[in-house]
Amino acid sequence: MTPYWFTNGLPHIWRPYCQMKTETPPLPVVATQGCRIRLADGRELIDGIASWWSVCHGYNHPHIVQALEEQLRVMPHVMFGGLVHEPALKLAKRLTEITPAGLSRVFFADSGSVAVEVALKLALQYWRNKGKPKKDRFLCFKDGYHGDTLGAMSVSDPEKSLHKAFRNSVIKQYVVDIPADEYSFAEFDALLAGVHGNIAGLIIEPLVQGAGGMRFHSADILAEIHRIAKKHNILFIADEIATGFYRTGNLFACNEAGIAPDIMCLGKALTGGTITLGATLAQEEIFEAFLDDDPDKAFMHGPTFMANPLACAAANASLDIFEKEPRLKQVEAIEAQLARELEPCRDLPGVVDVRVKGAIGVVQMEASVDVRALRPKFIEHGVWVRPFKDIVYLMPPLVIAPEELAVLTGSIFSVIASEAKQS
Ligand SMILES: *Cc1c(COP(=O)(O)O)cnc(C)c1O
């Protein structure tokens, strides 16, 4: 039975990334548990993408639920201007302890995109405060994605990203391919040697570019990009909103390359995927550039719901779980199973690559898939999988059981195989 709220409310909702004229209706959801999403008609779907990559501990983890309930009764929200509270200060201390060396200051934001905006603004004002206001552009990478707000859009891939329509309305940045060999690194080095006087920082999704196309680069490449950025006095901003919290195998993707970014953005799995929160961490040296008798040198940013106590309590509970439960081992097991079970897709018509990194499994198709045809087929298999462009991928909760993961990988093989047969 279709719920009344679905019928009544649907004509008033504007849905994300969606051509509302042609898109099929969304599915009414009534509950979540573990790795499953329960629909209003009673069906259950295994979630293969962890609610946009955020639900790392599975849905409704009792420890986070309890932390949220307790915080809810005491203080769901209080402003962060002139006031501080235990959940935020505890979280700030813990984040600086687990993130790469030297990231000692945390600015809380209310989403990933805003955490990126904060990172960009910090980098711009850092140079202004240091007397180098001409360093006011960013270097970013093709296939990159850093969020949906204007600043974040400006550093995402201008051609391929979800933001094509706004290409001419955002600040032009330097957009280059991720260097891959000695030759392209020499070019990259030469480019930065020429334009570093105009560049405040570079921003990168370390190891895995997510929404821009699920592309991987090696830890060596990441380390080399970092080295060249530092050589030319350019701030290195790591957007770990998707890669953080073991998604690529290490607690943070930067760890695999042994680098410490100047600025780092967190979001998505930060609260275990329960409630929105972003964080921007900076090296002490960056923070110090804002300390001055001149009030204009202060960092001018402060979202209304900054450091929301509920969100910080959820994030603290999520960190407790990371300390107690064997996520690293689970990611290793997921990586092995994804590699084993997605590999057969390589022989299917239309598939050009299969790649796995941590708890990310990607089947790369030759051309854009017919998303509208594919998505309902996954529902028939009892799974929640959302291909986009030429990518069919899995980023399941890190707690997914091997049997559930097998259903997900099996569904990908079957759906791609049945598509191939039809065309
Ligand atoms: C999702 C994402 C963002 C944006 O986060 P929101 O919470 O959706 O604003 C930014 N950067 C990366 C790498 C992301 O994957």
**What pLDDT, in 10s, does the model give residues 67-92?**
999 999 999 999 999 999 999 999 99
268 catalytically annotated? yes
Residue 1 binned pLDDT confidence (cut-offs 50, 70, 90): confident
Measured in Å, residue 411 CA sits from the centre of ligand 1 at 27
Residue 420 binned pLDDT confidence (cut-offs 50, 70, 90): confident
Residues 6+ away with beta carbon under 8 Å from 29: 37, 38, 39, 40
Q: What does the alpha-carbon distance between residue 223 and residue 274 come to, in Å, rounded to a whole number? A: 32
Overall average pLDDT of the 26-43 stretch: 97
- Please tell me if the CB atom of residue 112 comes closer than 6 angstroms to any atom of ligand 1: yes
* DSSP assignment letter at 25: P
**pLDDT value, residue 320:** 98
SS3 helix, strand, coil % of the chain, rounded to 5? 45, 20, 40
Count Cβ atoms below 10 Å from residue 381 Cβ, excluding itself.
17
Measured in Å, residue 153 CA sits from the centre of ligand 1 at 11
Could you tell me which residue, 72 or 166, shows the higher pLDDT?
Answer: 72
User: What is the residue type of 311?
Assistant: A
The predicted-structure confidence for 276-317, as pLDDT tens digits, reads as follows 999 999 999 999 999 999 999 999 999 999 999 999 999 999
**pLDDT value, residue 239:** 98
The predicted-structure confidence for 313-343, as pLDDT tens digits, reads as follows 999 999 999 999 999 999 999 999 999 999 9
Q: Whose C-alpha lies nearest to ligand 1, atom 3?
A: 147
Q: What does the alpha-carbon distance between residue 66 and residue 372 come to, in Å, rounded to a whole number? A: 39
Specify which residues 362 forms β-bridges with. Answer: 355, 393
Residue 184 binned pLDDT confidence (cut-offs 50, 70, 90): very high
423 pLDDT above the threshold of 80: no
Mean pLDDT of the chain: 96
Of the residues 4, 17, 181, 421, only one is catalytic, namely 17
Q: For residue 168, what are its two tokens?
A: 């001419």
Overall average pLDDT of the 360-383 stretch: 95
**pLDDT value, residue 422:** 74
Measured in Å, residue 297 CA sits from the centre of ligand 1 at 28
Q: For residue 285, what are its two tokens?
A: 């040296």
- Please tell me if the CB atom of residue 241 comes closer than 6 angstroms to any atom of ligand 1: yes
- Please tell me if the CB atom of residue 116 comes closer than 6 angstroms to any atom of ligand 1: yes
129 pLDDT above the threshold of 80: yes
160 catalytically annotated? no
Overall average pLDDT of the 23-52 stretch: 97
Residue 176 exposure: Cα atoms within 13 Å on the Cβ side: 19
Of the candidates 395, 396, 389, the one whose C-alpha atom is nearest the C-alpha of residue 352 is 389
Residue 187 binned pLDDT confidence (cut-offs 50, 70, 90): very high
Rounded to 5 degrees, φ, ψ at 16 are -75, 145
Q: What does the alpha-carbon distance between residue 10 and residue 52 come to, in Å, rounded to a whole number? A: 21
- Please tell me if the CB atom of residue 147 comes closer than 6 angstroms to any atom of ligand 1: yes
Residue 207 binned pLDDT confidence (cut-offs 50, 70, 90): very high
With beta carbons less than 8 A apart as the criterion, state whether 323 and 63 touch.
no
161 pLDDT above the threshold of 70: no
Overall average pLDDT of the 155-169 stretch: 81
Roughly how many angstroms between the first and final C-alpha of the chain, as a whole number?
35
Residues 6+ away with beta carbon under 8 Å from 78: 85, 309
240 pLDDT above the threshold of 70: yes
**pLDDT value, residue 162:** 64
- Please tell me if the CB atom of residue 330 comes closer than 6 angstroms to any atom of ligand 1: no
Q: What does the alpha-carbon distance between residue 56 and residue 244 come to, in Å, rounded to a whole number? A: 10
**pLDDT value, residue 256:** 98
- Please tell me if the CB atom of residue 211 comes closer than 6 angstroms to any atom of ligand 1: yes
Of the residues 239, 262, 357, 393, only one is catalytic, namely 239
Measured in Å, residue 147 CA sits from the centre of ligand 1 at 5
Measured in Å, residue 190 CA sits from the centre of ligand 1 at 30
- Whole-model pTM: value is 0.98
- Please tell me if the CB atom of residue 247 comes closer than 6 angstroms to any atom of ligand 1: no
**pLDDT value, residue 62:** 98
